[in-house]
Amino acid sequence: MLFASMEIDDQGGWFDTLHSDEPEKWQDALLWLKNSVIGNNKQKQNAINHGIIPRLLQWLVDGDAPQHLRLEAAIIMGSMAKGTAENINTLVEEGCVSVLLKGLKSPDQAFVESCLRCLRTIFLHNSNCGSLIYQEPSIVEDLVEIMPRSVCTQECVANILASSCKEPEHQSKLCECGLIPKLVDLLAGKVYKVQMPVLKCLAGIVRENGENCVVALTAMHNNVPLPDMLVQLMLRDRTSEMQIVAAKVLAYLCGGGALAPQDPRIISKTLPCLIRMCSRDRTLEENVEGAETLAYLLEQDGELQRVAAVSDHIIKTLAEYLKYTDVQQINRCGKRIDINWGIEMKQAAFKAFAALGANEESIRKQVIETEHLMEYVVVGLNSGNMKVAAAAIRCLHSLSRSVQLLRTTIQDHGVWKPLMKIIQEGPEELLPVASSTLCNLLLEFSPSKECILDCGAISVLVNLAARPEPNLRLNGIWGLMNLTFQVEQKVKTKVVESIGTERLFRLLSDPDANIVMKTLGLLRNLLSNKLHIDHIMGMYGNQIMQAVVFILEGEHPIQVKEQTLCILANVADGDKAKDLIMGNEDMLKKLMNYMQYQPDVSLQIAAVACISNLIWSGEDGACARQAKLSEMGVQTLLQKLLSTTDTVLFEKVRTAVQQFS
């Protein structure tokens, strides 16, 4: 018998034998090598240093080499893959994967299984391998065909495929090969170590893939549909790891549109299971995975959010996540896992809160009022770790839909600086959510706007308003609109200066009607307050009037024209600005036309409001204006309108009529 402890000094001798031209000694040498490396990372590295990988590959590649040698080579390769991450990298770099995949074509079942074991270990621990099985079309088909043969092939192939279905093209290819029904059959087989990778594979193959979800929904074993099988696997007598992956598959089926949120299998089975996974008595991995999957599921539907919010003190439980600091783990294989649990738990909790509070104000209130929660959110925003900051932003975005509840947070916790930093320096994909959050928060901030302005909010928003992406442009202009609501004149001036009239008017002809509306809203906010109106019209009056004409004469939805008329009404409120309208015959004629516009009464109301401001008695020059408008027939028109059935219009008309004295 050849023992690993023997002949330490002769080690070099064994390696020489393997590289030598003495085939009769290879079997013994390989046996020695196998026993040397199994369980010993140092020996694995030692073997690599002696150039063992290329030598093993030679046997594996050579279809004519003696089968027993090829088998040992595959087994030893498999042991090498159980070493350190560097060992696995070496294997991948030296091209082992494609050699092993070719080995699957062998008729020798034991050899195939050894190759599969090695591949499975490599794929599980090296995330770069995911696309390697797609390099040749026959590989996937071979794997699917081999899979059912034995417990070993089932477990290994399922694991390999589970690690290889991240991209939509991969998902489609796997589905085309008829993988899903085969997986369902294996799931029913009740062999635990097969069921687990099968579940992970199913999760990977249906995630965000509507077509695959449909196939999975209808897949059956013995007339039991897959979703029902999954519900059985979520029962409490199963291991947590099984419950959570089964729940994941169901959640993805819901997200992919195959299962409705109200389906009892989702709302009464999957949801409670995920909430269970978040509780304190589970491992940290289960907590993180549970919360993240819960977040994914809750985003699908408001009813799910409502039910979740009252389940098992979930908000309190998730709040506890925020208190975790770094904890390391060592598992039984002796591999130290360096995971920063503080980061993982926090980002999972933020994601879950974001989903919980997506639709319901009452839930948002609960979240916001949870002790210290908002402080953690702000700390999260300031975190150097982008994963945490991104999750914190999503949380804040969700909560900002009830911005008035966030008043203290905004005041006390300095949310502006980190928010601006993320917008200006953070990754592109965070821009939409970060800028939406900014818009929402701008709705509610105190008269002391120095802090937000000091943070450069205006230029940030102006830059957004110039972006080619419509959603970012919208957020930019919307933010400016919110910013200028009831604000001081100097801020208004600054805004107009920053954005420039040219950009403003370009936005007025934006193809997106929402953007036009918000730009008009901005103008309206700028032109509120008599003094401001005169000031701004004094500087930009001509351009503004041109813009008004441009919109009224163009093809625009009713709301857009209504907003424009409201702006005109604001202009008419300015003491000096009034003249800009009065001096424009064409504009006055337009107003009269709109006073009679049918069928939409909103335009009539806006036009009358404008007239009302123009003729407002008691103001300088009122008599002259009234006379002029009367001459044009406005008074008569107003009298006619008194017969309207619309109460709002009637009130406005009556007020206007009363001005004529």
- Residue ranges in contact with other proteins by CB under 8 A: 1-5, 8, 34-35, 38-42, 75, 78-79, 82, 114, 117, 193, 330, 332-335
Q: Which helix (H) or strand (E) holds 602?
A: helix 601-614
Minimum distance from residue 83 beta carbon to other proteins (Å): 8
Minimum distance from residue 334 beta carbon to other proteins (Å): 3
Within 8 A by CB and 6+ apart from 90, the residues are 48, 53
Q: How far apart are CA 409 and CA 428, in angstroms?
A: 26
Give the three-class secondary structure for 163: coil
Distance set, CA 109 to CA 43, 103, 149 (Å):
28, 11, 9
Distance of CA 59 to the CA centre of its chain: 48
Minimum distance from residue 192 beta carbon to other proteins (Å): 9
Minimum distance from residue 75 beta carbon to other proteins (Å): 5
Vertex 166 angle, CA 162 and 171, to 5°: 80
Residue closer to other proteins (CB basis): 30 or 393: 30
The pairs formed by 86-95 with CB atoms below 8 angstroms and a separation of 24 or more are: 87/41, 87/44, 87/45, 87/48, 88/121, 88/122, 88/125, 88/126, 89/126, 90/48, 90/53, 91/53, 91/122, 92/122, 92/126, 92/128, 92/129, 94/53, 94/54, 94/57, 95/57
Q: How far apart are CA 73 and CA 631, in angstroms?
A: 105
**H helix runs in 62-191, sequence order:** 67-80, 85-93, 96-103, 109-125, 137-146, 151-162, 168-176, 179-187
Q: How far apart are CA 128 and CA 163, in angstroms?
A: 10
The torsion angle over the Cα atoms of residues 546, 552, 554 and 558, rounded to 10 degrees, is 140
30 contacts 62 by C-beta, under 8 angstroms? no
Minimum distance from residue 244 beta carbon to other proteins (Å): 22
Minimum distance from residue 376 beta carbon to other proteins (Å): 33
Per-residue tokens: 621:
């020059």
Q: How far apart are CA 358 and CA 294, in angstroms?
A: 13
Q: Which residues of 296-320 are buried (b: 16+ CB within 10 A; e: fewer)?
A: bbbbbbeebbbbbbebeebbebbbe
Q: How far apart are CA 24 and CA 17, in angstroms?
A: 10
Minimum distance from residue 43 beta carbon to other proteins (Å): 9
Distance set, CA 280 to CA 20, 131, 313 (Å):
59, 37, 12
Q: Is the peptide bond before 23 cis (omega within 30 degrees of 0)?
A: no
199 contacts 245 by C-beta, under 8 angstroms? yes
Q: How far apart are CA 342 and CA 326, in angstroms?
A: 5
Minimum distance from residue 27 beta carbon to other proteins (Å): 13
Residue closer to other proteins (CB basis): 40 or 279: 40
554 phi/psi in degrees, rounded to 5: -95, 175
Q: How far apart are CA 622 and CA 615, in angstroms?
A: 6
Q: Which residues of 37-53 are buried (b: 16+ CB within 10 A; e: fewer)?
A: bbeebebbbebbebebb
Q: Compute how many other C-beta atoms are within 10 angstroms of the C-beta atom of residue 69.
A: 18
Per-residue tokens: 349:
């909790």
For the chain, give percent helix, strand, coil, nearest 5. 75, 0, 25
80 contacts 48 by C-beta, under 8 angstroms? yes
Q: Which residues of 625-646 are buried (b: 16+ CB within 10 A; e: fewer)?
A: bbeebeeeebbebbeebeebee
Residue closer to other proteins (CB basis): 282 or 335: 335
Minimum distance from residue 76 beta carbon to other proteins (Å): 9
Minimum distance from residue 110 beta carbon to other proteins (Å): 11
256 contacts 209 by C-beta, under 8 angstroms? yes
Per-residue tokens: 53:
């990988």
Q: How far apart are CA 599 and CA 587, in angstroms?
A: 21
